[in-house]
Structure 1
Amino acid sequence: MNTDVILTLQDVSKSIGDKEILKNLSLGIHAFEKIGIVGVNGCGKTTLLRLIASEIEPTFGTVTCRKDLKISYLPQDPVFDPQIVVLDHIMPDLSMEQATEESYIYKSILSRLGIHEFDKPLGILSGGQRRKVDLARALVNDPDLLILDEPTNHLDMDTIEWLQDYLIKLKKTVLFVTHDRYFLDAISNRIWEIERGSLHVSIGNYSDYIKGKLLREVDAQRKETRRQAQLSKELQWLGRGARARTSKPKHHVEKVKELISKSYLISNAELDISFQTDRLGKTILELRKLSKSYGSNLLFKDIDHHFQPRERIGIIGPNGCGKTTLLRIITGEEKPDAGSVKAGINTHFAYYKQDEESFDPNLSVYDYIAQYAEVIKTKDGTRLSASEMLQRFLFDGRMQQQKLGALSGGERKRLYLLKSLMFGANFIILDEPTNDLDIRTLEILEDYLDAFDGCLLVVSHDRFFLDRCIDYLFVFEGTSIRKIAGNYSDYLLWKRFNEEEEEESRKAAPSRDTRPKSGIKG
């Protein structure tokens, strides 16, 4: 298999305004590598993808690619013409004859992604449907280098699993950013980690990267312990005074300066989630015979559920089945056609929406939070100012003065997460919380939800997040909901078992003889 270098970055740096995002990157991409990029929100993941895709130019350095290299790029938020129809959007500029001959290829990939109405304008599609169309556009071009920025955002689980299998088998080079840890682990054979503008390359998949990072941290701790011991020894020597010796050799003083300045530990600020919450009452939340339609489209009917203390429920189903609509009905943002919602007197909701409220781009980070609360109580009763709470959410003093319009998509999501949770609700509702958040923030959110004493209701396509955080599933099936005890992996086992049972029953069923009976016994 050819493993030639197909694209090279040489001393590449990129600044946005006065902020240097990427610093002196030099590396190559080889044919057939499948590279996952990780790093905290705002570290430059999307910027690096755009540099490689030639969407933007580096501030310094060069990006050089093989002369005949064909690149396909799926941005996180593609710009589209709302009037153009689906098929025209994904087809390249072809002659009428070529377009007629090759249209079946494009229709085939769209159908596999669940898009069957090829003449629909993009403007009337849902976010999930548009994502599928844009994904199809990237895949059908048969690129040598496929670049994907958060490809699983807005996709349903069946589509994610199909895409995962497709990319595993694809004999091309793939460069991608994703928060989906199962997806990342299954596809990647290289991990690029961006940290403080620099890039660290790890051979292997995401699990290998995590193991290697832990080993590096253990090694750094060992070196730091040795440094501290040396420093203590040198300081004791210098502290003996002139009576112990006639002079203090210069090299001892220099050694102390070196040891003080050289720490092997990387000081990573950690996001800290901690809010004071009230106890839930006897009645938490009751859903009674809920039904909802839009016109002639029935989403669901007769949904019943009485929530129990500390219940953690995940909601899954295909795009457009009514998951977000159900959340909006529960929070009172929408009315059901039939049925009722009864929340307990002590039940207080925090609702993190998939499409966060509109931000005023000219508002500062600090002013955005301070307009809701200038003082916030933590779980241990500590009263924090808005500025102190922002510090805990990794917005330092400088970032607090930044305008919202200057933040990355992930940084805005982290800020919106703070705004959603900071009032100390005891019933958390999350609609696709993993979209655009970096993996480390997700891990800390998962830790917070582990210790959370209230109820959790979450819509998510992130299989790892569901496995970690929930113990019960609502599965949309047609217009009804099936309730499954367990997490997402438990559901897959249940689903596989039932499919195998049905297959065995089908094989065991006697074939019906449809020939007319002759009435002759023999």
Structure 2
Amino acid sequence: MNEVLLTLENVSCLYGERIILQGVSFGIHSSEKIGIVGINGSGKTTLLRIISGLIKPNTGTVTSRKDLKVCLLEQDPVYISELSVLQHTFPVAGEIKDEYHYKSILSRLGINNFDEKMGDLSGGQRRKADLARVLAAEPDLLLLDEPTNHLDLETIEWLQNYLANAGKAVIFVTHDRYFLDAVATKIIEIERTKLFYYEGNYSAYIRGKLIRATDNKRKETRRQAQLKKELDWLNRGAKARTSKPKDHIDRVKELLSKSYLISHQDLDISFQIDRLGKTILELHRLGKSYSGKVLFTDIDHNFQNMERVGIIGPNGCGKTTLLKIIVGEEKPDNGTVKTGINTHFAYYKQDEDSFDPNLTVYEYIAQFAEVIKNAEGNKVTATEMLKRFLFDGKMQQMKLGALSGGERKRLYLLKALMFGANFIIMDEPTNDLDIRTLEILEDYLDAFKGCLLIVSHDRFFLDRTVDYLFIFQDGKLRKFAGNYSDYLLVKRFEQDATEEKKEPVITRPKRIAKGLSYNEQREFGLLEKEIEKIESELLELESRLNDFAKPLSPNDYYHISISMQELENRHQELLTRWLELSDKQNAGN
């Protein structure tokens, strides 16, 4: 039975004078997987904290089932540096079997040193420890605020499969569209203090939004026709006005103030950039170690114009370190970096180091530049550019400490891009940004006429923005032509090929013609030759896929994949016929 675990009735919440949520009512059932979406500052985190009981709504009630166990993973959990991983994850010592359970979850997430101090962990490892803490507690209702932040891709895919198959209720906020699509059974969108509900996953939500938008356009057309009729009447003169009841004029005023079409203001990203020179960026045999641990060795690459590279790899493998070496914030142990004289970097960091909570939004941007040039070369004031990045006059006077995490990230994005660099370097840019901002950023990067180098765990973002990958594997850099989905296909193909090699090899018996007619003997011989020819062609194509010294373009990879599939289908068809004839000739012996 899909029982109700918790209900919210007419819940409203204010932040200062700002209404965050208003009149929210819905129920949460067991086994439901609810994804929450909305722009930064819309109240997604606030809703999770109300459900968890950490904050009380200004109005309304939250009613839960008796003895309901709820666990919340926050975006930025507080931790004590001196606590060990196990102490942080398993804060109340219990039975040995419980401790074993927590250690098991930690190991699944790739943390095996349970005595390591929390303060010594990377951001990704701390995120895994926090995740292990809430998962191992086995709550009835699991609340996750941006669970994929700082996690490597393998862990994200493990978590995605774990939650999709978990027999418990999960409510989660995430910007990861593939994650939403795989896990969610319902989407709640927060828009202008209200909640809108969509059954199904993220794809179903997008389809629902399209239907809603079409319906709203029809309503808007009717509204405008009605409004025109009313305005025509108002223009007839004083005599006509006095002949109509007063509430008729009130109706016009209502129509004037109401629109079924919610206008989504977009970021206006437009900056002037310089052309790249012949030499853009050259990496020669780069190597780096920390505390005796080798992060990477012998990294070589010469960047070409318009190259768009994504960097992936497990937490702690050196992705951020490589970016810092490129921009000159760190020195390599070995090798050199050569930057072209016309190459100008924009470096978007994971954590902004110039954050002063007492600065206003305007003061933060104005300290870098009060006037900015757009793509046409026209001068734009910092005030105007902030408005284009959705910071209106009132928000420009807000302190940074009062902004949501996502709003601060949007501000940092403006700071990183506003000087018109021709080589954009981004370290986990999708963390804390809402999906709408990500879509606009993706469109901007699509049209960007320079080079991109992006560290990201967001699979959708990688698919949209890059066509080449640097993959960190055991201290080496593997280069791959294609986006993340292309790489995933090749990776699975390689895994399947490895599994097939482990299976016992079944060799075909040598042909003995007895039992076959003359035509069948001839067909049998031709089949053997054609099968051997196809097997040879498959080996050649597989060799091309695995030859990373000669990288393939996404188009090459697509055509090779199609060819291999056709050959494999033909191989199976011929082999089936060959086995029929083989059985027949053996039966005649």
Provide the TM-score with structure 1 as the length reference: 0.93
Give the 3 Å change call, closer, same or farther, for CA 340–54 of structure 1 in structure 2.
Answer: same
Aligned match for 2:145, one of 149, 157, 160: 149
- Contact kept? 2:346, 2:417, Cα under 8 Å: yes
Of stretches 256-265 and 378-387 in structure 1, the one that deviates more from structure 2 is: 256-265
Give the 3 Å change call, closer, same or farther, for CA 56–249 of structure 1 in structure 2.
Answer: closer
1:107, distance to aligned residue in structure 2 (A): 1.2
Aligned match for 2:493, one of 494, 497, 507: 497
Instruction: Give the match for residue 518 of structure 1.
Output: none
Give the 3 Å change call, closer, same or farther, for CA 83–231 of structure 1 in structure 2.
Answer: same
Instruction: Give the match for residue 54 of structure 1.
Output: 53
CA distance in 1, matches of 2:424, 2:178: 24
Aligned match for 1:272, one of 268, 271, 279: 268
Give the 3 Å change call, closer, same or farther, for CA 509–300 of structure 1 in structure 2.
Answer: farther
Instruction: Give the match for residue 465 of structure 2.
Output: 469
1:254, distance to aligned residue in structure 2 (A): 5.2
1:507, distance to aligned residue in structure 2 (A): 2.5
Counterpart residue identity of residue 39, structure 1: G
CA distance in 1, matches of 2:54, 2:233: 58
Alignment of 1:235-250 (within 5 A): 235-239=231-235, 249-250=244-245
Give the 3 Å change call, closer, same or farther, for CA 56–231 of structure 1 in structure 2.
Answer: closer
Aligned match for 1:313, one of 309, 314, 334: 309
CA distance in 2, matches of 1:329, 1:89: 33
Q: Indicate yes or no: 2:425 matched with 1:429.
A: yes
CA distance in 2, matches of 1:398, 1:87: 45
Instruction: Give the match for residue 295 of structure 2.
Output: 299
Give the 3 Å change call, closer, same or farther, for CA 255–389 of structure 1 in structure 2.
Answer: same
How many residue pairs are counted as aligned between the two chains?
506
Q: Indicate yes or no: 2:179 matched with 1:183.
A: yes
Instruction: Give the match for residue 280 of structure 2.
Output: 284
CA distance in 1, matches of 2:9, 2:229: 44
Instruction: Give the match for residue 8 of structure 1.
Output: 7
SS in 2 for 1:43: coil
Instruction: Give the match for residue 560 of structure 2.
Output: none
- Contact kept? 2:88, 2:133, Cα under 8 Å: yes
Give the 3 Å change call, closer, same or farther, for CA 346–171 of structure 1 in structure 2.
Answer: same
1:317, distance to aligned residue in structure 2 (A): 0.3
CA distance in 2, matches of 1:121, 1:382: 52
| Percent of aligned pairs sharing the same letter | 67
CA distance in 2, matches of 1:13, 1:241: 45
Give the 3 Å change call, closer, same or farther, for CA 82–510 of structure 1 in structure 2.
Answer: farther
1:509, distance to aligned residue in structure 2 (A): 5.9
Q: Indicate yes or no: 2:18 matched with 1:24.
A: no
Give the 3 Å change call, closer, same or farther, for CA 238–365 of structure 1 in structure 2.
Answer: closer
Counterpart residue identity of residue 289, structure 2: S
Q: Indicate yes or no: 2:392 matched with 1:401.
A: no
Deviation sequence 1:238-297 (CA, Å, 0-9, x none): 545699x89754476555444323322112221221111111111111111111111321
Structure 2: stretches of 5+ with no match in the other structure: 508-589
Instruction: Give the match for residue 138 of structure 1.
Output: 134
Of stretches 269-278 and 417-426 in structure 1, the one that deviates more from structure 2 is: 269-278
1:234, distance to aligned residue in structure 2 (A): 3.7
Q: Which has the larger radius of gyration?
A: 2
Instruction: Give the match for residue 87 of structure 1.
Output: 86
- Contact kept? 2:93, 2:99, Cα under 8 Å: no
Aligned match for 1:107, one of 100, 103, 107: 103
Q: Indicate yes or no: 2:38 matched with 1:39.
A: yes
Q: Indicate yes or no: 2:354 matched with 1:354.
A: no
1:499, distance to aligned residue in structure 2 (A): 1.6
Of stretches 199-208 and 161-170 in structure 1, the one that deviates more from structure 2 is: 199-208
SS in 1 for 2:411: helix
Aligned match for 2:123, one of 119, 127, 141: 127
Aligned match for 1:410, one of 406, 410, 414: 406
Instruction: Give the match for residue 373 of structure 1.
Output: 369
Of stretches 196-205 and 383-392 in structure 1, the one that deviates more from structure 2 is: 196-205
CA distance in 1, matches of 2:333, 2:109: 31
Deviation sequence 1:128-181 (CA, Å, 0-9, x none): 111101100000111100001111111100000000000011000001101100
- Contact kept? 1:238, 1:248, Cα under 8 Å: no
1:198, distance to aligned residue in structure 2 (A): 1.3
Q: Indicate yes or no: 2:379 matched with 1:383.
A: yes
- Contact kept? 2:456, 2:462, Cα under 8 Å: yes
Instruction: Give the match for residue 323 of structure 2.
Output: 327
1:31, distance to aligned residue in structure 2 (A): 1.3
Of stretches 248-257 and 392-401 in structure 1, the one that deviates more from structure 2 is: 248-257
1:370, distance to aligned residue in structure 2 (A): 0.6
Give the 3 Å change call, closer, same or farther, for CA 10–255 of structure 1 in structure 2.
Answer: closer
Counterpart residue identity of residue 187, structure 1: V
